[in-house]
Structure 1
Amino acid sequence: MPSTLNDDAFDHDAALMACAHGDRDALRRIYERESRYLLGVALRIVRDRAAAEDVLHDAFVSIWSRASSFDASRGAGRGWIYSVVRHAALNRVRDSARETTLDEPAAAHHDTQAALAAWNTSGDELARHAALGRLGHCLDGLEPTRRSCLLYAYIDGCTHGEIAQRVQAPLGTVKAWIQRGLRALRECMQ
């Protein structure tokens, strides 16, 4: 924990105790003294400047709200502050590792699969067969290449790139065909 200032000139423990009693100026003093070093700690862990700045902000909110939990008998105030930032940065890395984002077609595919699974577990088989007949009718109403794109995506599980290769069309066109085909099917099935 580098510092160009004399460590004896600032009492981190007292500043944390003041924060615990609602002294905003004490939090500002901690920030002014340590923020550039704490940002470096966060940056080394998250490896992205914007994310590190977010971590630092969240850590200072946490320092403010949890200052009363600081116990000087268990360690130095400065170390406690650095551990709050370190834990916030590690949590950010763990959380971002769990995040997965789906593009619009992938999300639509996921929704369709979930709806199909729920529909298959519903009890009325006669209603399912009637709806499948309607689906077949709606699929027949689509232009053949667009129908093929939908079937490749939702029956064969092909990616948009694989579909583009199969139908020999540009990737953007295939994506648009699938989106328009899904809209047409939704309208027809209602």
Structure 2
Amino acid sequence: MPPRSMPNTSRDHLARRLNAVAEGDREALRDVYDLTSAKLFGVCLRILNDRVEAEDVLQDVYVTVWHKAGRFDAERASPITWLATIARNRAIDRLRALGPARAVARDLDAAEAVADETPDALAQLEASDEAARLKSCLEELEGRARSAILGAFFGGRTYDDLACEAGVPLGTMKSTIRRGLIRLKGCLGE
């Protein structure tokens, strides 16, 4: 998500502070840091996906700002866009410097988010002897309770999501599922 544009007063203030940094004003650099560090840290962290590396890059960003603030041109870019570009470029440079081993590690971490293509819990249960009994007991439940239980426990849906879909309050959905589970437990215990 790109940085949001700042209101003109904040934008003008930041531009003035960058101009003061260009003149060697250390207090102005502190102000620029205070006004922008959270946003720029987010840029670095999003690219690097490593808090320690992002903190290091953020420090490099402000060293660069100290040395290159004179190159800022308010006619060409907003101050936050100029700063975010520096942060982005520094973060990409760091990512490249970390090399392919780092990219492989990130890819392995990202692999955890890939969907598991194995059969879901319901499909696995259907393959067992208990599946027929569970299916029979589920069929004895009232339709809304049955579909809510299947959605919550076999479909991975939240109670809130199920309540919204059914057009009922969350408490009603919780009660429906609870009563259905009590009936299901009774049926399976027979």
TMscore range, shorter length: 0.3 to 0.5
TM-score with structure 2 length normalisation?
0.48
TM-score with structure 1 length normalisation?
0.48
